[in-house]
C-alpha cells in the first residue's frame, strides 16, 4: 500500500475540518453585528468553528496512529 493511500482518510478529515472552520469564520463575520445568544446564525457558526477544530484534531490523531511499515518491508528481497 502506498503512503498516500494509507493517509488519505486522515488528510480528508483534516481538509473537511479546515473547510468547516473557514465556513464558520465567514458566517461569524456576517452575523457578528447582533452579538447575543439569541442569534441562531452566530451560534451555529461558532459551532462550526469548534467542530472544525475537533475534526482537525481527530484527523491528525488518525494520521499519527497509522501503522508504519517495518524496515524489512521497504527493502527488496535479496534472494
Query: Which cell numbers in the block locate residue 29?
Result: 463575520
DSSP output for 3-67 = HHHHHHHHHHHHHHHHHHHHHHHHHHHHHTTS-STT-HHHHHHHHHHHHHHHHHHHHHHHHHTSP
DSSP symbol at 78: -
Does the structure show a pLDDT above 70 at 14? Answer: yes
Q: Cα dist. 15→8, 11, 24 in Å?
A: 10, 6, 14
Query: What are the residue boundaries of the structural domains of the chain, listed by start?
Result: 3-66
- Write out pLDDT tens, residues 28-67: 999 988 888 899 999 999 999 999 999 999 988 888 887 6
Amino acid at each position: 500500500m502506498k503512503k498516500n493511500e494509507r493517509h488519505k482518510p486522515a488528510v480528508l478529515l483534516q481538509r473537511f475540518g479546515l473547510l468547516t472552520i473557514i465556513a464558520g469564520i465567514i458566517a461569524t463575520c456576517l452575523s457578528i453585528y447582533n452579538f447575543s445568544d439569541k442569534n441562531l446564525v452566530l451560534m451555529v457558526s461558532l459551532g462550526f468553528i469548534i467542530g472544525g477544530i475537533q475534526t482537525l484534531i481527530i484527523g491528525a490523531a488518525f494520521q499519527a496512529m497509522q501503522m508504519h511499515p517495518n524496515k524489512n518491508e521497504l527493502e527488496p528481497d535479496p534472494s
